[in-house]
Structure 1
Amino acid sequence: MDVKAAIKAIKQGEISPFYLLYGTEKYQMNEFVTVLEDQVLTPEERDFALVHYDLSDTPLQAVVEEAEMVPFMVPRKLILVQDASVFTAGKDNAKMEHRVESLLEYMKNPAEYSVLVFLVNQEKLDERKKVVKEMKTKGTLLSFTPLGSEDLLKWIGKKVKERDCTLEAGAAEMVVRNAGTQLQTLSAEIDKLCLYAGKGGAISINVVEQLIARNTEQNVFALVEDIANLRVDRALGIFYELLKQKEEPIKIAALIARQFRIILQVKDLGGQSYSQQQIASQLSLHPYAVKIAGEQARKFQAAQLKQILSRLGTLDFQMKTGAIDKVLGLELFLLRLAA
């Protein structure tokens, strides 16, 4: 079952006794929990019926005891369990001893008045574990992974529409380029843009550029994009702006090297017929970042990218040893690169 199907079932009153939510997209995970809360509990019931646990400081068996306990003054309770590392691979470093068998036993005959929700902020579960296998058959497993590039832009459009605003052509892409791909950050920036535009207002590219300040990484991302498109003056403008913000030239050079390394890796994997999603998973990147890197990769030969990375390695050594002025070194690098 996917997230949309699970939400539809919840709204129809079909509530599972167990939910195991996992993945790296916390914002969507929290949105799902909110939908579940609204369906299972009324606002008046939440003080008595909404229970939070963290397995880093609470044993799993205590959570099971809570689930078995009859709720007080409410017909049903919702139990949210954070840091559910018992479902993942690797050694659990917590000092708490978790008796997983207590949960396995409870799953055979769960209480009808309790809904257990386990939240795992990791990309994968350990499919070999019995508790994961049982959860697949007795409960609902839902994966929350980063949205693909097209889905991300659709998500932005949907959020803007919900706030009774509209986006002009190219504005959604500019929001991502300036704010990044984290949904929590994007949601806050969309609120700001719609507040500025007003009810029924339109958000243009210029408005996005005025209101959303890029962080250092996004500035470097834009700088490399300008280099790829031979916009030397704009690239240098971004560089000087970073210097005004007291950014260390060595750090800027390292971020530029990281971006060119990503471009080379995306070019290499794309040449091996990897899909955008596969490349994103392989490199632990957001699919939108892979899409943009792919566009940039088409403007360079692999040999050029390797030569650029070699120059950056030499520049890093020179800056750290004092063989060249750091600002001058980066200026010369950018000018030679553009040439």
Structure 2
Amino acid sequence: MSSTHLLLGPEEGEKNAHIARLVEIAHKQSGEKPELHTFYSSETPIRDVIAVLRNGSLFYAHVVAIVHAAEEIRKKDDIAALSDYIRKPSSEATLILVSGVLRIDAAWTREVPADARKIFWEMFENQKQGWVANYFRKRNVAIDADAIELFLDMVENNTQELRIAADRLCGFVGKGGAVTSAEIEEFLYHGKQENVFSLFDGLCAGSLESSLEILQMLLLSNDQTPTGVLASLVWQFRRLLALRVLLDQHYDTSEAFQKLGVRSKRNQQTYSAGIRRFKRAALEDIVTRAVEYEALFRSTSTGRHRGLLQQFIYNTVVRAGAQHLPQSVIYGA
């Protein structure tokens, strides 16, 4: 087994499973469980990580160091030290460098053996719904097509996050239960104090301070990522826009709510507040900006996502989505 591994891509479930296999291989080769260390490149200098690998352990035969956000290793001295270590690694250690991006354009990556560089891709769009349906079916829980679509919009698109959310939802409805969009909304409302729906409440109420506070709570809870929060807001604003379109077509409010599956009184109050606050053109702008930010998330490091999401929240409340992002910012043109 190689002494250094580079694992890239957004599919956290498969990536973590591969890390577990590498740790198990180290266990078998050394004859005992290795000493595990987890680092984040933004918090621990790479030279300190290398010192841990070179010094070894007093109590274990092998050391495994996992370094997250490897794309942030950019300083000249760090690159030189890392490149030198990869060329001349410790025989009693394994270094696993991890990143959510698909490519790291740095000289040290070329030092990692080709067979130890792997990319873990997200599922294709046509695979996601089948994966979710099968997962719920194996747990004897029914889920309809609309609920699957909402579930995929609300949860980060990797098998680790999907499994965690699905297991919680199965526990919520119980074995033999059924999941619809209403159950997902109820679960997310009552499952914890603040959530993506209460964030949407704040946005529809036009409260910047409240919205930013809720966002902070969500991101500190470790149950949500900026990417997942933004995806849920995109879904909710699209549904709010759809409601606005139906009302403009002279649908009765209750009929429009029924058509869109907005069933609970709390949801109806939130959407009514959103309709009062945002005109149709503003909602179209907000949805367009949200899609632009999703594209920007895919082209920037995860360390920037929190600030970008705060910027989107500000733009939504204060400017009603009117602040356009240049194409050069979104796509790096």
Deviation of 1:140 after TM superposition, in Å, equals 1.8
Compared CA separation, residues 254 and 31, structure 1 to 2 (3 A): farther
Per-residue CA distance 1:7-43 (angstroms, 9 max, x = gap) = xxxxxxxx4322212334556544543454455459x
Q: What residue is the counterpart of 1:220 in the other structure?
A: 237
Deviation of 1:210 after TM superposition, in Å, equals 4.1
Deviation of 1:205 after TM superposition, in Å, equals 4.9
TM-score by length of 1: 0.55
Q: Is 1:134 matched with 2:118?
A: no
Deviation of 1:121 after TM superposition, in Å, equals 3.6
TM-score by length of 2: 0.56
SS at match of 1:16: coil
Q: How does 1:17-166 map to 2 (within 5 A)?
A: 17-26=3-12, 29-37=15-23, 40-41=26-27, 49-85=35-71, 92=74, 98-126=77-105, 129-137=106-114, 140-161=116-137, 163-166=139-142
Deviation of 1:104 after TM superposition, in Å, equals 2.5
Compared CA separation, residues 142 and 206, structure 1 to 2 (3 A): same
Q: What residue is the counterpart of 1:4 in the other structure?
A: none
Deviation of 1:173 after TM superposition, in Å, equals 1.9
Greater C-alpha Rg = 1
SS at match of 1:98: helix
**Partners of 2:101 and 2:55 in 1: how far apart?**
30
User: Percent identity among equivalent residues?
Assistant: 18
**Partners of 1:208 and 1:151 in 2: how far apart?**
21
**Partners of 1:284 and 1:175 in 2: how far apart?**
21
Q: What residue is the counterpart of 2:312 in the other structure?
A: none
Compared CA separation, residues 49 and 231, structure 1 to 2 (3 A): farther
Q: What residue is the counterpart of 1:306 in the other structure?
A: none
Q: What residue is the counterpart of 1:242 in the other structure?
A: 270
**Partners of 1:316 and 1:54 in 2: how far apart?**
36
**Partners of 1:99 and 1:205 in 2: how far apart?**
49
Per-residue CA distance 1:304-330 (angstroms, 9 max, x = gap) = xxxxxxxxxxx9699xxxxxxxxxxxx
**Partners of 2:81 and 2:21 in 1: how far apart?**
28
Native 8 Å contact 1:243 1:249 kept in 2: no
Deviation of 1:49 after TM superposition, in Å, equals 0.2
More divergent stretch after superposition (206-215 vs 51-60): 206-215
Deviation of 1:202 after TM superposition, in Å, equals 4.2
SS at match of 2:126: helix
Compared CA separation, residues 38 and 101, structure 1 to 2 (3 A): same
Per-residue CA distance 1:27-69 (angstroms, 9 max, x = gap) = 6544543454455459xx77x7001233334332332232233
Q: What residue is the counterpart of 2:149 in the other structure?
A: 173
Compared CA separation, residues 149 and 82, structure 1 to 2 (3 A): same
Native 8 Å contact 1:41 1:49 kept in 2: no
Native 8 Å contact 2:237 2:286 kept in 1: no
Q: Which amino acid aligns with 1:60?
A: I
Compared CA separation, residues 109 and 97, structure 1 to 2 (3 A): closer
Gaps of 5+ in 2: 190-195, 201-232, 300-318, 323-333
**Partners of 1:27 and 1:70 in 2: how far apart?**
29
Compared CA separation, residues 283 and 52, structure 1 to 2 (3 A): closer
Compared CA separation, residues 163 and 182, structure 1 to 2 (3 A): same
Per-residue CA distance 1:70-117 (angstroms, 9 max, x = gap) = 333323221011232366xxxx4xxx7734333333333433331111
**Partners of 1:251 and 1:68 in 2: how far apart?**
62
**Partners of 2:36 and 2:100 in 1: how far apart?**
20
Per-residue CA distance 1:100-143 (angstroms, 9 max, x = gap) = 333333333433331111122434310xx331112253x52223
Native 8 Å contact 1:49 1:71 kept in 2: yes
Provide the alpha-carbon RMSD of the alignment: 4.6
Q: Which amino acid aligns with 1:119?
A: V
Native 8 Å contact 1:86 1:100 kept in 2: no
Q: What residue is the counterpart of 2:213 in the other structure?
A: none
